[in-house]
Amino acid sequence: MPKLTVDGRTTDVPEGKRLVLAIESTGVPIGHRCGGFARCTTCRVEFQAGEPDTMTRAEYAILSTRELLGQARLSCQIVCDHDMSVRPLLTKDNNPEWDTTGPPPEPTVTPEAAWYPKSEVAREASA
């Protein structure tokens, strides 16, 4: 079972659980304002350890549009398949104007995930 560390607190999470949902289950009110469809970037996290080597095409597209590539990853586009340590960047606690954290994300990655090595996604995007 992978270990997930959120802001220094470590818990076991079910293999394959969507990272945004795993973070939420630790009690951190992380944003997911688009419902986990790689459109809002409010689920963004900073990796302290265990950043995946792969990225969905949808994540690459929105991170590059928002100039966040290399600074943050989208927890709605990542599944817990190994140990990770992250710091959520946008939560209801630091955005008190939010009425909610957002619509509940599906248990599986949406839109349907196509994972690529980060280097390959970047090469395709520039082609």
Which residues bind to ligand FES, rule: CB under 6 A?
A: 32-34, 36, 38-43, 74, 76
Q: Would you call 18 helix, strand, or coil by DSSP?
A: strand
Q: How far is the CB of 10 from ligand FES (least distance, A)?
A: 23
Q: Which is nearer to ligand FES, 1 or 107 (CB)?
A: 107
Q: Which is nearer to ligand FES, 70 or 127 (CB)?
A: 70
Q: How far is the CB of 43 from ligand FES (least distance, A)?
A: 3
Q: How far is the CB of 89 from ligand FES (least distance, A)?
A: 12
DSSP codes joined into one string, 106-121: PSS-TTT--EEEHHHH
Q: Which is nearer to ligand FES, 97 or 127 (CB)?
A: 97
Say how many CA atoms lie within 13 Å of 25 toward its Cβ: 17
Instruction: Round to whole Å and give the CA distance between 35 and 66.
Output: 18
Which of 36, 37, 24 lies closest to 86 in space, CA to CA?
Answer: 24
